[in-house]
Structure 1
């Protein structure tokens, strides 16, 4: 393999001649073989880095600290990355020491070497255009890296919202479809009071809507950036006006309502926006997990379980039991939920481990959040298309369960009293007879009264005045 020689403060190293990255990236590849996931595997992050470098070049040129020719080459090189080129040269591992320095330098070197080619110079000829002195001008890893993470996570978050909305639409459709299907509600897995299957599905949508709102708030927090803070927030080595200029250019390039943090020293060490995003994702995962727990239970059987709904069969469920079909889609979504909850613990631990003016553990925060966003999005689409949309109900069975349930006595409690209701419940449990049958036999209510009280619309939502039903 042909190589070129590059040097840094530790000495010289050979770099593959056809590589756009340089010596810092070579060392990072040697140091960090941890996750097997490269920057190139997260194109949102690569695009964010290129956009920031482009905005920085434009701001520096505008302020007179970067030569216009170099600026044009850097901007053009960044544009090629934004168009999808050169991504294969973003090769450092997502898990890395150095607070993201390897990521920032990988971007600086790729952009610098492509810009050198555009200027008619060979790769590695840094005397003409330097990764640190020109591409990284007025910047530090400590403001570039977290800003790139915020832009990339924001893009991934918007895609998750799309998947979330598609899932909620499918659930809403089922809520409408099952609006008149009477069933027995349960608390602590015991018979409670009647409800409709539509109410059960509508509840899932309401829960997810709350999480959607929390996710939107978290994404808005990501629009607060610290570019111009440089090393620790004091703005050292950046020209006057740079913070405003780079934010303006970056906002135009991204189309996002970016705002500069009010205190850049605080912002440089604060990872609160990432913690808030992780918390929102964890809440989404918890709700999705709960929904999938319910779907697995409600569809259990088909004859020895709840058997209230039917999930669409996706694959044979056993290598030994013929005819068995398992709830594989809710199961895989449950597993994504477990992972996201675990990722949140990683983010929490990494966020609190920051020391003094910087948190060195943002790479693991980033890696955890990207996995959570990516896997949650896939889980939402999988649950929507492979499960929710194909669910059917067993309405006659559900109705028979309601009329045979001891829980029905709760609806009669306002009319016959708690003591009588308790006695009827015990008698029904022992005898196997129905609640309504026993009440009628004892003459406590007439058939007409029972028919009125036990109307589905009265059983499943509060009437304006309960006394009216008893006459």
Structure 2
């Protein structure tokens, strides 16, 4: 019996000490249940721990998500006090509990699996129960003495999971977005730094995989940086959809059980607590049933993923070789690349970034499908929407510094290779049009292709230009439109 119970405890992510703890009795509409006395959660959380043994990834996996619940509950308590519904002594107790969680304490009590039925009810009740018991204990009471502070009546006053849950996700995504953007900006700066470093290294640009016209490696890397800059701007602008929240909507948006004025006060209080310009949705029924904010923000994450994947794939292509590829740049060698081929080194960091991008793009598809399939006045699939977006944010946040430090910052250019390509490329013939004329340059291009000779090689053979003229024409600033 003990072995079976221990197995369950491990599955639930609970400590072994909890197994032998004293218990207290709590009850809900389904009956009584024994709760470990040292647990801050209550009966509804305990049922969720039994029902949702799915991913092993719980609320506490994302600290900002836990903080978001405390922020929402703090704003709600203050708003209820503002409209005269919550007494000061209970507000003071709830404030202390919420601030403790915001400060990073008690996060180990937020144990519900992120995958859950019930549109997030278990996650909301986990927060209500933990905060209530923290408040009780801080006030000198025992956990479970809910006659003093009750998870439903006090922590969920004028609320429903249907407004708390999406609002907490909004807040969590906003907190995560700040961190995501900070890392993305550092990565963009690394690309721009490489752009400055390689600014005078002339190379051939390519369109559709074919030689086009000259550019510098610096221009190429600055372009990577500017693509990231634009994707970052989209992430920041799309935050506006997350600022709109539905606190006060309660069950379906009609505000049943909420005190008049509470919704407006809650928006104001939430803005104060989060430091974000939170506003009440124009129509609470629409805001409760629609996942539009999540779809829009997820699209911004997808845009970032597509941008990052294109850049990563370009880097893999540019570093291909070393003998039979493009080999214009070197990515830092991090590990042997094969268990069978000696000397092979793979572009592992760029590949890793691509994997994260593919996952984020797939997560966006999950968000779209789950948002579409919510029925009528509530979307029951909000949990998987939250999981998908938060996972994408976390993956990028973890991967970008690795990509920056272990890949981008260590990239070097192969000058001899790009010089050789310039010497032999037919593409530079376009730059000679103003000097030799279109007909002559067309003849040169044709002969170069037929004889496998370089344009410059033919120009020297035919003495069409002096070495001084060639040098001036091949000046990187002149060739790439940077001449002032």
Is TM (by shorter chain) over 0.5?
yes
The Cα offsets for residues 209-259 of structure 1, whole Å up to 9 and x where unpaired, read as: 111110001123211111111111111111111112222222222222211
> What secondary structure, in the 3-state scheme, does the structure 1 residue paired with 2:85 have?
coil
Match of 2:61 in 1: 41
CA distance in 2, matches of 1:458, 1:167: 29
Q: 1:372 to 1:408 in 2, by over 3 A?
A: same
| 1:266 to 2:286 alignment | yes
Match of 1:5 in 2: 25
> What secondary structure, in the 3-state scheme, does the structure 2 residue paired with 1:407 have?
coil
Match of 1:468 in 2: none
Match of 2:296 in 1: 276
- Which one of the candidate residues 244, 260, 274 is aligned to 2:264? 244
The Cα offsets for residues 386-436 of structure 1, whole Å up to 9 and x where unpaired, read as: 111111111132112101112222223455555554443232122122223
CA distance in 2, matches of 1:462, 1:156: 39
Alignment map for 1:126-137 (pairs within 5 Å): 126-137=146-157
> What secondary structure, in the 3-state scheme, does the structure 1 residue paired with 2:428 have?
helix
Match of 1:467 in 2: none
Q: CA deviation at 1:443?
A: 7.2
Return the TM-score normalized by structure 1.
0.93
Equivalent pairs counted in the alignment come to 464
Name which of structure 1's ranges 292-301 and 157-166 shifts more when overlaid on structure 2: 292-301
Q: 1:102 to 1:452 in 2, by over 3 A?
A: same
CA distance in 2, matches of 1:53, 1:144: 8
Counterpart contact for 2:211–2:426, Cα < 8 Å: yes
- Which one of the candidate residues 115, 127, 151 is aligned to 2:135? 115
Alignment map for 1:59-70 (pairs within 5 Å): 59-70=79-90
| 1:368 to 2:388 alignment | yes
Name which of structure 1's ranges 150-159 and 444-453 shifts more when overlaid on structure 2: 444-453
- Which one of the candidate residues 304, 308, 314 is aligned to 1:288? 308
Alignment map for 1:299-378 (pairs within 5 Å): 299-378=319-398
> What secondary structure, in the 3-state scheme, does the structure 1 residue paired with 2:27 have?
strand
Q: Could you list the runs of 5+ residues in structure 2 that have no partner in the other structure?
A: 1-19
> What secondary structure, in the 3-state scheme, does the structure 2 residue paired with 1:323 have?
coil
> What secondary structure, in the 3-state scheme, does the structure 1 residue paired with 2:38 have?
coil
- Which one of the candidate residues 111, 133, 138 is aligned to 2:158? 138
| 1:383 to 2:403 alignment | yes
- Which one of the candidate residues 415, 435, 438 is aligned to 2:458? 438
> What secondary structure, in the 3-state scheme, does the structure 2 residue paired with 1:222 have?
helix
Q: 1:114 to 1:457 in 2, by over 3 A?
A: closer
Counterpart contact for 2:201–2:476, Cα < 8 Å: no
Q: CA deviation at 1:449?
A: 5.6
Name which of structure 1's ranges 342-351 and 291-300 shifts more when overlaid on structure 2: 291-300
Match of 1:177 in 2: 197
CA distance in 2, matches of 1:343, 1:387: 25
Q: CA deviation at 1:94?
A: 0.5
The Cα offsets for residues 244-276 of structure 1, whole Å up to 9 and x where unpaired, read as: 222222222222221111111111112111111
Match of 1:469 in 2: none
Q: CA deviation at 1:322?
A: 2.9
Return the TM-score normalized by structure 2.
0.91
| 1:405 to 2:430 alignment | no
Name which of structure 1's ranges 314-323 and 395-404 shifts more when overlaid on structure 2: 314-323
CA distance in 2, matches of 1:380, 1:227: 34
Q: CA deviation at 1:174?
A: 0.5
The Cα offsets for residues 356-397 of structure 1, whole Å up to 9 and x where unpaired, read as: 111111111111111111111222211111111111111132
The Cα offsets for residues 294-343 of structure 1, whole Å up to 9 and x where unpaired, read as: 11111122222212111112122222333322211111111111111111
CA distance in 2, matches of 1:271, 1:432: 59
| 1:99 to 2:119 alignment | yes
Q: CA deviation at 1:448?
A: 6.3
CA distance in 2, matches of 1:196, 1:411: 14
> What secondary structure, in the 3-state scheme, does the structure 1 residue paired with 2:233 have?
helix
| 1:16 to 2:36 alignment | yes
CA distance in 2, matches of 1:352, 1:295: 36
- Which one of the candidate residues 250, 254, 263 is aligned to 1:230? 250
CA distance in 2, matches of 1:18, 1:441: 89
Counterpart contact for 2:331–2:411, Cα < 8 Å: yes
Alignment map for 1:122-201 (pairs within 5 Å): 122-201=142-221
Q: CA deviation at 1:126?
A: 2.2
Match of 1:211 in 2: 231
Q: CA deviation at 1:447?
A: 6.4
CA distance in 2, matches of 1:438, 1:317: 41
Name which of structure 1's ranges 433-442 and 51-60 shifts more when overlaid on structure 2: 433-442
Q: Could you list the runs of 5+ residues in structure 1 that have no partner in the other structure?
A: 465-471
CA distance in 2, matches of 1:444, 1:394: 29
- What's the Cα RMSD here? 2.0
Name which of structure 1's ranges 196-205 and 431-440 shifts more when overlaid on structure 2: 431-440
